[in-house]
Structure 1
């Protein structure tokens, strides 16, 4: 079932690494290019810096990506969906609000 591997443990490790890589690409690289992750693009949202509504810096995006894992767990425990808010100096806004 698992050719050329030492078993399901190695397969799961590779699967986790691929998932983290795709998550990083979506939440850091795509945000740097388009000011939004793929899901936010679909919903018409943008990520902006809190200080000057500019494009998030690379380090801010990386910190927010990492914080998202820990804050997501906290949000689930507290049953509060707005835990991220302005995490790492970046905020989510509607695209149409940026025009005005």
Structure 2
């Protein structure tokens, strides 16, 4: 559900950027030439910078999820989030064929519920 919500958010932000900021109104080709880069930029900001700053994209935060490094539970690194974002484009194409497999555990990162996140207590 979070992936679908993120997709809708990114499409709406990309549409708003392409129409309001870049005024893509001169036909289908001009619209697509503006809309596609705007969607990719919105997706990049949401999934890479959102995960770096807030440990999750907009939808993950709304659904109470977090993205952590699977080895030690710490904040993700830039290259991990970038790799996970790029890997997501490959997986999204084959997601239905893979019977629901997701990007949840790609590139050394894992998506967990915020309430299940364990905080190490020093003893």
Alignment TM class, shorter chain as reference: 0.7 to 0.9
TM-score using structure 1 length: 0.87
* Runs of at least 5 residues in structure 2 that lack an aligned partner in the other structure: 1-23
Residue-pair matches, total: 96
State the superposition RMSD in angstroms.
1.6
Q: Distance in 2 between matches of 1:8 and 1:59?
A: 35
The residue aligned with 1:83 is 102
* Runs of at least 5 residues in structure 1 that lack an aligned partner in the other structure: none
- Tell me if 1:93 matches 2:112: yes
For CA contacts below 8 A with separation 6 or more, give which structure has more relative contact order. Answer: 1
TM-score using structure 2 length: 0.72
Runs of 4+ in 1 over 2 A off after TM superposition: 82-85
